[in-house]
Structures are given as C-alpha cells and as structure tokens.
Amino acid sequence: MMRRLHTIILLMLAWLASSGVVSADWQEDFSALLQRHVKSEGVDYRGWTASRADIDRLWDVAGAIAMEAPAGTKNQRLAWYLNAYNALVLHKMLATPSFASVSSAAAWREQFFKAKDLIVAGEKVSLDDLEQVVIGPTFKDPRVHFALHRASVSCPPSRNRAFTASSLNADLNALTRSFLSDHPNGVRVSVDGKSAEVSALFQWFRNDFDRGDVRAYINRYRAEPLPPETEITFLAYNWERNDSPITAAERSR
C-alpha cells in the first residue's frame, strides 16, 4: 500500500513537471503557505488539509521544484535547496496523513526519508539524498541541520517563511543560536550543571560539527556555554508529528 502511494505521488509530480503548472517564483508561494499554516509551536496540518486551494498550491510548488534547477550564488542555491527540502517534506506529510499515527514505525520512517519518490531539478531523489548527498557535501555548513524540517516534535522549530539569499547567513545563525540556547529539544542542562542532554542531530551527524567536537560547536552558538566538565549525552528523538497545539487539541476531542 505504501509503495503504491509513493508511486502515485511520483507520477503526479512528473505530470506537474511536464504540465507547466508552476508559479513564476515558487519560493514566494511557499513562503506565503508557511506564513498561513506554520505556528509558533508547530504546523497546522489539519487546517492546511482543509484548504483545497492551499493543498493545490503546495502541489504546484512541488511541480516547480521538479522542473527547476537551482542557480545563482552559493546562498541562492542553498536557500533554494533548503526551501525545496522543507516543501517536499510537507508535501509528503500532507499526502500521507497516516504518518501521525504510525510515527513509531521505523520501517515507515525509512520509507518516508529514503524512498526515491521525489523529483528535484529533473532528478529522481529521496529526502535523504537531498540532505546527505546534495546539501551536506555541496555546502558543508552544519547550520543546515537546524534549518531542515523533519515534521517531527524533536526537530528544530519550523520556520514560518521561506529562506532567501539576502538574509540566509543571519537566519541560519539565528536558528542555530535559538535552538541551542532556548529550546528544550536542543540542549537540556541538569539542575546541578553536571550533565547535559543534546539533540540527537549531534549524534546522527556528529562529524559535521567541528569534526566531532560537539561541545565546541554548541558553545560557539549557545548563550551559556557548556563547561568542560559537563557530561554530554543525546536526547531520544520524538518522531511524533509536530502538530500545532491547536491542531493537537482538536485531534484529541
């Protein structure tokens, strides 16, 4: 069933790519959608699903990503890829709403991130391809780990607008500082200060952060640096969908 659904998604993306049903600037359209549906504490998936017009706009965004190739400066290309990744994660989430109830299933997550059921710039890829084969090796900027949207409770907070080249460096710095200084899913220091639990992102991509020196990387951005004697361990990752509180309350009724 899951494979058939992914095949349908891939065929529809291919149709969109060949049909010319795209905006002159999909990133502006995507930004407008984010401003409408991303809240301070999560994504209003239910509200997004209820809007046929906004679902169609996200499909158009996916169609544009399928046929457009990133160009321009390094920051323009990185912003393009970050926006493409985040848009396609949301696209897959809205196309497969059952993710909210099976998020603990490792096999499902494996399919979600590793299935080559997406088209980006004319190439068939997976979400993991975008992150680990394209974005990571090409741009070599560990701050991207705090900018990529994984549609889960433990991921860094969702941004409510698309990235742009002009403010990309400042935005990546701000996202990294905020996640490592202010967010409980970034760093949790014990009351006595002797230990700290940090995001599983530092475990998964350890070598991206100062060649494995997690403490040094965190202290570069964190408002209150971790002392050398603080023991660092990794937080368990919560894969439950990052619904906004309003949506979560509605779902529990």
Q: Express each pLDDT in 95-108 by its tens digit.
A: 876 666 545 567 77
The domain containing residue 230 runs over which residues?
186-234
Band the pLDDT of 16: cuts 50, 70, 90.
very low
Per the CB < 8 A criterion, the answer to whether 60 and 26 are in contact is yes
Q: Would you say the pTM of this structure is higher than 0.75?
A: yes
The number of distinct structural domains making up the chain is: 2
Q: Which residue has the tokens 């991303």?
A: 38
DSSP 243: B
Pair 39, 114 in one domain: yes
Mean pLDDT of the chain: 88
Please state, in angstroms and as integers, the Cα–Cα distance from residue 93 to each residue in 9, 45, 46, 54, 168, following that order. 11, 9, 11, 14, 25
Distance, CA of 52 to CA of 147 (rounded, Å)? 27
Would the pLDDT of 5 be above 50? no
Pair 18, 140 in one domain: yes
Pair 40, 100 in one domain: yes
Q: Three-class SS of residue 48?
A: helix
Pair 48, 120 in one domain: yes
Per the CB < 8 A criterion, the answer to whether 246 and 240 are in contact is no
Mean pLDDT of 9-13: 48
Written as one letter, the residue type at 84 is A
Pair 247, 229 in one domain: no
Residues in the chain, total:
253
Pair 60, 32 in one domain: yes
Per the CB < 8 A criterion, the answer to whether 149 and 242 are in contact is no
Pair 143, 126 in one domain: yes
Q: Alpha-carbon Rg of the chain, whole angstroms?
A: 18
Pair 12, 49 in one domain: yes
Pair 31, 153 in one domain: yes
Pair 65, 137 in one domain: yes
Pair 95, 202 in one domain: no
Pair 147, 195 in one domain: no
Q: Count Cα atoms within 13 angstroms, Cβ side, for 235.
A: 21
